[in-house]
Amino acid sequence: MLLGEIIRDFSQEARATEALLSCNDVTLLAKVELAARRYDETVGEYAAGAVRRFANLATSEDWLGLMNVIERANDPGIDCLTMMMNWSLKQDEAAPVQSGCTCGSGGCS
């Protein structure tokens, strides 16, 4: 699977939820659930938005880190999603809560 396909798949709520659950990372899931509640979103909405935020807002250094993760991964899709979730959670810890879309594209209402 190519990186573009991973991002496209995980940008969909149902696929992001399924992939997040298949990570078998209870701690990550709990953090995502907490963040989702903070933004009045479902876990799938937050996860899909996190992937879109990473795609739109990550720095070159973040992308390089993602490439390193994928290169060493047994399951690139899951490891990619895990990194994007952790990146988004870190960004959201420092950000004030906003209402509405948090996908990072700027075009949502």
User: Would you say 29 and 79 are in contact if contact means Cβ atoms under 8 Å apart?
Assistant: no
Q: What is the pLDDT of residue 10?
A: 79
Q: By residue range, what is the domain housing residue 55?
A: 3-94
Q: What is the pLDDT of residue 15?
A: 85
Q: Is 99 contained in some domain? A: no
What three-state secondary structure class fits 31?
Answer: helix
Q: Is 59 contained in some domain? A: yes
Q: Is 100 contained in some domain? A: no
What is the rounded average pLDDT for all residues in the chain?
A: 85
Q: What is the pLDDT of residue 100?
A: 59
Q: What share of the chain is helix, strand, coil (3-state, %, to 5)?
A: 70, 0, 30
Q: Is 25 contained in some domain? A: yes
Q: What is the pLDDT of residues 73-91, one digit of tens each?
A: 898 888 988 999 999 999 9
One-letter identity of residue 77: G
Domain count, the chain: 1
Query: Dihedral angle at the C-alpha atoms of 78, 37, 57, 76, nearest 10 degrees?
Result: 0
For residue 97, give the DSSP letter: P
pTM of the model: 0.78
Tokens encoding 68: 């390193």
Average pLDDT over residues 42-59: 92
